[in-house]
């Protein structure tokens, strides 16, 4: 088997209805995996893209506003790969940030991620198998950002959990890693791109000279799921156009 083949593997991608999650789901299918697309909105478009390319996909509705909503996702056919992409962002000055916005973001980005991954690992261990987890972190796993306190806290937490789970599970057959996207053209960054001053400042800092595309993240996520990354544990792979190098 090719070091970069996922033939025979079954993957579940959260937040797969659009953006980065959709691109990762399509990328996994192109590598040979059968993909379950999970989202709080229908993932029909993603399933159709995969089918049109000759791949295999299905969808399931799940809203991670309930952090325990992913508990039953692994009761059916075995899942070999979990990509935790579902995420939420709320923007306001720290002095005005509400408890509701704090809790909403932390529940989806961190609490749901942990308990969904826990359920995945229990299912993998129960059948004596091996698995891969890829978490979607952020540049704000390393930096502070502005006006996104709960998002920054949650993404720092994602980086920490990635390392902790790798420490506990590497010897048990589950690779846990993360991808940290830079500034990508998605719904979450629409407000930044629409602000001429912020957009110009961001582009001036990116050595690659452009906003990233969702497909730029897909390749890195797929790599971490393949045999080529079998000795990669606890890594956070920056895909940021060189932002953190500057």
- Is residue 212 within 8 A of residue 240, CB to CB? The reply is yes
3-state helix, strand, coil in the chain (%, to 5): 45, 15, 35
Residue 223 is among the residues annotated as catalytic for this protein: no
Distances (CA, A) of 117 to 46, 77, 135, 209: 22, 16, 9, 35
Token representation of residue 179: 């991808």
Cα-Cα-Cα-Cα dihedral of 197, 149, 166, 225, to 10°? -40
Question: Ramachandran region of residue 93, left (φ > 0), alpha (ψ -120 to 50) or beta?
Answer: beta
- What's the distance, CA 181 to chain centroid? 9
Q: Edge-to-edge strands of the sheet including 236-239?
A: 56-61, 34-39, 10-14, 81-84, 131-136, 174-181, 236-239
The residue annotated as part of the active site, out of 151, 183, 223, 231, is 151
Q: Which residues are catalytic?
A: 151
């Amino acid at each position: 088997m090719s070091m970069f083949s996922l033939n025979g593997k079954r993957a579940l991608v959260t937040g797969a209805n659009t953006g980065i999650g959709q691109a990762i789901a399509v990328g996994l299918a192109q590598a040979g995996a059968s993909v379950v697309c999970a989202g709080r909105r229908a993932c029909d478009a993603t399933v159709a893209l995969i089918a049109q390319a000759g791949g295999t996909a299905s969808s399931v509705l799940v809203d991670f506003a309930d952090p325990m909503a992913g508990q039953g996702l692994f009761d059916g056919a075995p899942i070999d790969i979990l990509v935790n992409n579902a995420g939420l962002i709320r923007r306001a000055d720290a002095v005005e940030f509400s408890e509701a916005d704090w809790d909403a973001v932390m529940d989806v980005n961190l609490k749901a991620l942990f308990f969904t991954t826990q359920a995945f690992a229990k299912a993998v261990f129960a059948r004596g198998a091996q698995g891969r987890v890829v978490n979607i972190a952020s540049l704000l796993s390393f930096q502070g950002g502005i006006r996104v306190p709960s998002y920054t806290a949650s993404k720092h937490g994602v980086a920490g959990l990635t390392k902790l789970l790798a420490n506990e599970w590497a010897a048990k057959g589950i690779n846990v890693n993360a991808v940290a996207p830079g500034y990508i053209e998605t719904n979450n960054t629409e407000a930044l791109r629409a602000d001429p001053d912020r957009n110009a400042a961001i582009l001036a800092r990116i050595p690659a000279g452009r906003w990233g595309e969702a497909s730029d993240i897909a390749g890195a996520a797929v790599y971490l799921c393949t045999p080529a990354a079998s000795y990669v544990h606890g890594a956070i792979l920056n895909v940021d156009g060189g932002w953190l190098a500057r």
